[in-house]
Amino acid sequence: MNETVALVATGGALIAAGTVLLLSRPLTRIVLGTVVIGNGVNLLLLSTSGAAARAPLLYRVFGPRRIADPLPQAFVLTAIVITLALTAFLSAMAYRAWQLSGTDDVQDDVEDLRVAYRAEHGEDREEHREGGARRLPMERERRARRRELLGAAEEDGQAGEGGTLRHPRRSDTHFHEARRRARAETRAHHALGARTEDETAGDDMWETILGADR
């Protein structure tokens, strides 16, 4: 009885700890969280075999009545093997995420980002809405702003090779920072443009259905 209570209590504690890990952002911590939760559930599963008894392997020695229920142990063994495989896979995925983006944080949801951009740029959207005529100057403005950002960085760090922006030196963090900022602005701009176009086009349901080949 006591052993079972201890198993359940430990299992519960592990699941609680795993949940905390799971709620954090880095993928590595999430992987650890799932491992800990998995172990907690394995303990719960093990506790279903009832009171502690002899090892099932020795059933010839002790007789079938004095050995522990072997079935949950078989379940747990299988579950451990599965968890091992998944841990390996998730770790590889976390490593790949780090390779690609320099961090293994779970990324923001794309749709959420869209909504956030819309909220941030509510005023600009009104301008966009007013028609294509105004969009062109805005586009020009954006390009100018981008050149300005990158140009400043280039002068500081002499990063551009032959005037192109394609192959900046990897070590030049200053240039990277400027480019990152420029890109972020461009992204916001694109997302915004796409959204407003989309909205103005889709205002009328019948327009979308019937007026497709206009």
Partner 1 sequence: MIAALPPGSDTGSALVALPVILPLFAAGLKLGIGVRLQRTQRVISTVVLATVLAVALVLLVDADTHGPQVMYAGGWQPPVGIVLVADRLSALMLVISSAVTLCVLLYSVGQGMADQEEGTPMSVFHPSYLVLVAGVSDTFLAGDLFNLYVGFEIMLTASYVLLTLGGTVTRIRAGATYAIVSLLSSVLFLAAVAVVYAATGTVTMAELAGRFDELPDGVAVLAQISLLTVFCTKAAVFPLAAWLPDSYPTAPAPVTAVFAGLLTKVGIYAMLRTQTLLFPGDRLSDVLMVLALFSLLVGILGAVAQTDLKRLLSFTLVSHIGFMVFGIALATRAGFAGAVFYVVHHITVQTTLFLVVGLVERRGVTTDLRRLGGIAKLSPALGLVFFVPAMNLAGVPPLPGFLGKFGLMRAGVVQGGAMVYVLIAAGAATSLLTLYALAKAWNLGFWRAAPPQLYVVGVVLDTVETDEEDSPSEQEAGGDQGGAAPGGSGAVDVDVLEGRAGTASFGGRAITTGQPPAAMLVPTAALVAFGLLFTVLAGPLSSLTARVAGELTARTPYVTAVTGR
Q: How far apart are CA 84 and CA 135, in angstroms?
A: 54
**Does the footprint of partner 1 cover residue 66 (CB under 8 A)?**
no
- Of 64, 102, 162, 163, which lies in the binding site for partner 1, with binding defined by CB under 8 A? 102
Nearest residue (CB) to partner 1, 134 versus 190: 190
CA 170 to chain centre: 26
Q: List Cβ neighbours of 107 (8 Å cut-off, separation of 6 or more).
A: 101
**Does the footprint of partner 1 cover residue 171 (CB under 8 A)?**
no
Category of 34 on φ-ψ map: left (φ > 0), alpha (ψ -120 to 50) or beta: alpha
**Does the footprint of partner 1 cover residue 60 (CB under 8 A)?**
no
Q: How far apart are CA 124 and CA 131, in angstroms?
A: 12
Nearest residue (CB) to partner 1, 56 versus 127: 56
Please give the DSSP secondary-structure letter assigned to residue 164.
Answer: B
Nearest residue (CB) to partner 1, 134 versus 183: 183
**Does the footprint of partner 1 cover residue 203 (CB under 8 A)?**
no
Two tokens, residue 206: 């019948």
Nearest residue (CB) to partner 1, 10 versus 48: 48
The residue among 43, 38, 19, 39 whose CA lies nearest residue 29 is 19
Give the interface with partner 1 as residue ranges (CB under 8 A).
22, 27, 30, 34, 37-38, 41-42, 44-45, 47-48, 71-72, 75, 78-79, 82, 85-86, 89-90, 93, 96-97, 99-103, 105-111, 113-114, 117, 143, 146, 165-166, 176, 179-180, 182-184, 186-187, 190-191, 194, 197-198, 201, 205, 208-210, 212-214
